Amino acid sequence: MNKKMAVVLALGLVGATARAQETIKIGLMAPLTGAWASEGQEMKRNVDLLAEQLNAKGGLLGKKVEVVTEDDGGDPRTASLAAQRLTTKGVVAVIGTYGSAVTEASQTIFDEAGIIQVANGSTAVRLTEKGLKNFLRTCPRDDEQGRVGAAVVEKSKAKKIAILHDNSAYSKGLADEINGILKGKNANVVFFDALTPKEQDYSAILTKLKAAGPEVVFFTGYYPEAGLLLKQKKQMGWNVPFIGGDAINNPDLVKIAGKEAAEGFQFLSPPVPKDLDTAEAKAYVVAYQKKFNEAPSSIYGVLAGDGFRVVAKAIEGAKSTKAEAVRAYLTGSLKAFPGFTGKIEFNAKGDRVGELYRVYKVARDGSFVMQP
Amino acid sequence: MEQFAQQLINGLAVGSIYALIALGYTMVYGVLRLINFAHGDLFTYGAYLGMTLLTSLALQDRFGLAVGLAVLALMVMGLVALIGVILERAAYRPLQSSPRLSAVVSALGGSIFLQNALMLIYGARYQVYPDVLPQATVSLFGLPVPVMRIAVVVVSLAMMAVLYLFVQKTRTGTAIRAAAIDQGAARLMGIDVNRVIQVVFVIGPALGGAAGLLVGLYYGQISFTMGWTYGMKAFTAAILGGIGNIPGAMVGGLVLGVVEALGAGYISIAWKDAIAFVVLILILIVRPSGLLGERVAEKV
């Protein structure tokens, strides 16, 4: 090798490490493209805004924070590549990602690299049951959602219950959870089946569903399909009440279904910032509105923001960016942190502690109203 | 029985959309032996352009609903055809003499480009059409059926009939059929094959765009990735009917739609696609070149 080139290379490497020490890098893995791109881009907005706010206040441990974003495309294979790229970029922690199956594909990569991962939308139970020491999540788990969901169904006093999922890891997991609880209480589940997401015409499914004669339908899928189901159910002239899971909390639901068809629909969700009375949450909604000209629409974007905030808090509290120290702070010292989605505390598994879910109902004007 | 009839209607509505898109696949394959993977995205462009024109021009207020929508449909079809022609020029013509695999890769590239361009222009969120269609239902054999559901089927069938007549009865149509049988021989007979290819890339995308507009108007919700799902189904329909065969694509689309709806209704919703594909495999075992055979055109 040419001597001059070696010198240049060496200098370059020195320069690179020197620069790396000037900032603390926090990764964000999000579905910026693909079918969940709207959620992913919302995640990026929240994390970027919070990083900006943090840097304006002087950053962390005297250094600026730099967000390194990688696109996982909402796809497990792309996610494992994105995760590998992030591990080579010197990030100390990674926020994300959204879908459970996608997160699962990246979990061990981050764990082996000794990088803290805080998922924001992956609610599948098994993710935190594997004993991975570097994994946490700001969203609740499906078994908790299952319990709350089953309780809402029981409260509706329906005698015949239908459960519909979309075969995704999250949706099927939640549907199984609810079905198990209801069966255990001898409820009459007359319908349990899955639709194919990303289609436009659900009339065949609704026709079959209607023939089963349920008094309430629990749909555990995502908001685009929920919106179409509500709209097409109304076109059929069938007014059975629908209940949904937390993946339906997105204002686009009402846009897709139309206000009339969406009215009265109920879903479960962690509380959105506008329903929290903390000063931080209120100020955040204002700042977000100012920067992006709209209120945060996705709860998962906000949960990604909360992930970023607890990681920042832990780095500051532990006065270190070492994974063990950050993890120890998050699961040990962090108590009742005022998140934008309620108080945040983690148990030893990396799950959030406490009852998070609220029941929301779509009002006549299309807004989501938290039920007491 | 009532459920059977209802599912049959559901299937026909979905199937006629599949058929419209399948025509684009089958025509391009017929002439170029190329699977145009970007065709599903042209369908999506139809849906998005339709939404933009519908909201910005409000033609339905100016000319009344029927005329307004007809004008809108013509505009959308024209614009999508233009995109189709540009796509052919940019992505396929330079590869005409290369191995077929290069063109397929180019088609996939075109698909990724078109899809992400749409995401950058409109954003990643779901878009929604304004409600312009009447919500009335009519009683058909004692079943309540939304009027628009019938309209979707009728409009699709009408467009397919026009296309069939065009291909069978006009000079250009004859040239298309000749180029589909043997490009070299067609050239020797004085047919401008490049021109034929261009015509194919006007008609296919225009029908795809019209299907996109129909889906947008009827279902209301569109997303930049919707072309993939519909594209796969329409591609399946084209193979089911016999790829390269125009009536085959129509029959294939309708059969696929009905099989899906009945499979979902009587066996299992979750296995709907599996049932459709099992039927496809069975048909291909019995008739390897599809329901109507690959090359009926030769017999004409």
What average pLDDT score do residues A347-369 get?
Answer: 91
Does one domain contain both A321 and A287? yes
Residues of B in contact with A256 (CB under 8 A): 126, 128, 220-221
- Token duo for residue B233: 């189904």
> Which residues in chain B touch residue A252, judged by CB atoms under 8 angstroms apart?
125-126, 128
What's the whole-number mean pLDDT along residues A353-357? 85
- Looking at the structure, tell me whether residues A111 and A89 fall in a common domain: yes
Closest Cα of chain B to A246: distance in Å?
A: 18
**Counting beta carbons within 10 angstroms of the beta carbon of residue B40, is it exposed (0 to 12), middle (13 to 18) or buried (19 or more)?**
buried
Assess if residue A367 is contained within a domain: no
Q: Compute the nearest-CA separation of B183 from chain A (Å).
A: 38
- Per-residue pLDDT for B299 more than 50? no
List, for residues B179-205, the tens digit of each pLDDT value.
998 888 999 999 999 999 999 999 999
B264 contacts on A by Cβ (under 8 Å):
204-205, 208
**Do A212 and A200 have their domain in common?**
yes
The rounded percent of chain B whose pLDDT value lies above 90 is 60
pLDDT value of residue B154:
92
Band of pLDDT at residue B262, cut at 50, 70 and 90:
very high
In a domain, A351, yes or no: no
Q: For residue A211, which residues of chain B lie inside 8 Å, CB to CB? A: 3
| Residue in A163, A179, A201, A255 to test binding to B, most B beta-carbons within 10 Å | A201
Residue A1 included in any domain: no
Question: CA–CA separation, B213 vs B230, rounded Å?
Answer: 13
Q: B residues 241-280 near A, CB within 8 Å? A: 260-261, 264-265, 268-270, 272-273
A41 with B124: Cβ contact below 8 A: yes
Chain center to CA of A77: 19
Task: Judge whether A33 lies within some domain.
Answer: yes
Contact B3, A191 (CB under 8 A): no
Residue of B nearest to A255 (CA): B128
- On whether both A147 and A132 belong to a single domain, the answer is no
For range A107-127, the mean pLDDT? 93
Q: Which of A33, A38, A193 sits opposite B269 (nearest CB)?
A: A193
Residue B296 pLDDT class (50, 70, 90 cuts)? very low
CA geometry: angle B264, A253, A51, nearest 5 deg: 125
**What CATH number has the domain bearing residue A120?**
3.40.50.2300
Contact state of A201 with B14 under an 8 Å Cβ cutoff: yes
Indicate yes or no: CB of B3 within 8 angstroms of CB of A207.
yes
Contact B223 A35 (CB under 8 A): yes
Nearest-angstrom CA–CA distance, B201 and B79: 12
Model confidence at B271, pLDDT cuts 50, 70, 90, reads confident
| Whole-Å CA distances, B124 to A106, B41, B117, B166 | 23, 15, 11, 38
Interface check for B219 against chain A (CB to CB < 8 A): the answer is yes
- List the single residue in A38, A203, A231 with the smallest CB-CB distance to B220: A231
Look at B221 and A167 and tell me if their CB atoms are within 8 Å: no
The region that residue B87 occupies, defined by phi over 0 for left and psi between -120 and 50 for alpha, beta otherwise, is alpha
B128, B224, B260 member nearest A204 (Cβ): B260
A265, part of any domain: yes
Same domain, residue pair A151 and A242: yes
Q: Which two tokens stand for residue A65?
A: 């924070």
Task: Give the gap in angstroms from C-alpha B265 to the nearest C-alpha of chain A.
Answer: 5
Total domains, chain A: 2
Q: Is residue A216 part of a domain?
A: yes
Q: How confident is the model at residue A10 (pLDDT cuts 50, 70, 90)?
A: low
Q: What confidence tens digit (pLDDT) does each residue in A192-214 have?
A: 999 988 888 998 899 999 999 99
Does residue A159 lie within any of the structural domains? Answer: yes
Regarding predicted confidence, which is higher, A79 or A354?
A: A79
Nearest-Cα distance to chain B for A98, in Å, is 15
Q: Measure CA B149 to chain center.
A: 17
In a domain, residue A131? The reply is: yes
Q: Give me chain B's average pLDDT, please.
A: 89
> Does A176 contact B at CB distance below 8 Å?
no
What does the pLDDT read at residue A2?
Answer: 60
CB pairs below 8 Å between A and B: how many? 93
Give pLDDT tens digits for B40-90: 999 999 999 999 999 998 888 888 888 999 999 999 999 999 999 999 999
Q: Kindly report the three-state secondary structure assignment for every residue of chain A.
A: CCHHHHHHHHHHHHHHHHHHHHEEEEEEEECCCCCCHHHHHHHHHHHHHHHHHHHHCCCECCEEEEEEEEECCCCHHHHHHHHHHHHCCCCCEEECCCCHHHHHHHHHHHHHCCCEEEECCCCCHHHHCCCCCCEEECCCCHHHHHHHHHHHHHHCCCCEEEEEECCCHHHHHHHHHHHHHHHHCCCEEEEEEECCCCCCCCHHHHHHHHHCCCCEEEECCCHHHHHHHHHHHHHCCCCCCEEECHHHCCCHHHHHHCHHHHCCCEEEECCCHHHCCCHHHHHHHHHHHHHHCCCCCCHHHHHHHHHHHHHHHHHHHHCCCCHHHHHHHHHHHCCCEEEECEEECECCCCCECCCCCEEEEECCCCCEEECC
Which domains, ranges and CATH numbers included, belong to chain B?
Answer: 2-299 (1.10.3470)
% of chain A at pLDDT higher than 90: 72
> Given CB atoms, is A207 within the 8 Å cutoff of chain B?
yes
Give the model's pLDDT for residue A168.
84
Interface of A with B in 257-276 (CB under 8 A): 258
Question: Which domain, by its residues, includes A36?
Answer: 22-140+277-344
Query: For position A71, what pLDDT does the model report?
Result: 96
pLDDT given for residue A6 in this prediction: 60
The verdict on a CB contact (< 8 Å) between B126 and A34 is: no
Of A240, A269, A298, the residue that ends a domain is A269
Residues A174 and A239 in one domain: yes
pTM for this predicted structure: 0.82
Q: B269 and A205 in contact by Cβ < 8 A? A: yes
Listed residues A223, A242, A269: the one ending a domain: A269
Q: Collapsing DSSP states into helix, strand and coil, what is residue B138?
A: strand
Same domain, yes or no: A86 and A158: no
Q: Does B215 touch chain A (CB under 8 A)?
A: yes
Distance from CA of A343 to the nearest CA of B (A): 29
- Look at residue B237 in the predicted model and tell me its pLDDT: 94
Query: Of the candidates B126, B229, B260, which has its C-beta nearest A256's C-beta?
Result: B126
Residues of chain A positioned with their CB less than 8 A from the CB of B265 = 204, 207-208
Asked if pLDDT for residue B300 goes beyond 60, the answer is no
Same structural domain, A194 and A120: no
pLDDT of the residue at A273: 83
pLDDT category of residue A18 using cuts at 50, 70 and 90: very low
Are residues A51 and A37 both part of a single domain? yes
Mean per-residue pLDDT for B250-262? 93
Q: Which chain A positions have a beta carbon within 8 Å of B8's beta carbon?
A: none
Q: What is the ipTM, given to two decimal places?
A: 0.81
Question: Are the C-beta atoms of B256 and B246 separated by less than 8 Å?
Answer: no
Q: Average pLDDT, stretch A224-250? A: 92
Dihedrals phi, psi of B59, to nearest 5 degrees = -60, -35
| Amino acid in position A87 | T
A212 touches chain B (CB under 8 A): no
State which residue of chain B sits closest to A34, comparing Cα positions.
B225
pLDDT in tens, A59-103: 999 999 999 999 999 999 999 999 999 999 999 999 989 998 899
- Together in a domain, A242 and A323: no
Residues composing chain A: 372
| Interchain CB contact of B137 with A (< 8 Å) | yes
- Residue in chain A lying closest to B144 (CA): A236
Q: Is B99 on the interface with A (CB under 8 A)?
A: no
Let me know whether A72 and A34 are in one domain.
yes
For residues A247 and A323, state if they share a domain: no
Best of B221, B259, B268 to disrupt the A interface (most A CBs within 10 Å) is B221
Asked if A205 reaches chain B (Cβ–Cβ under 8 Å), the answer is: yes
What does the pLDDT look like over B100-126, one tens digit per residue?
889 999 999 999 999 999 999 998 888
- The pLDDT tens digits for A267-308 are 999 888 888 878 889 999 999 999 999 888 889 999 999 999
Judged by a CB distance cut-off of 8 A, whether residue B125 touches chain A is yes
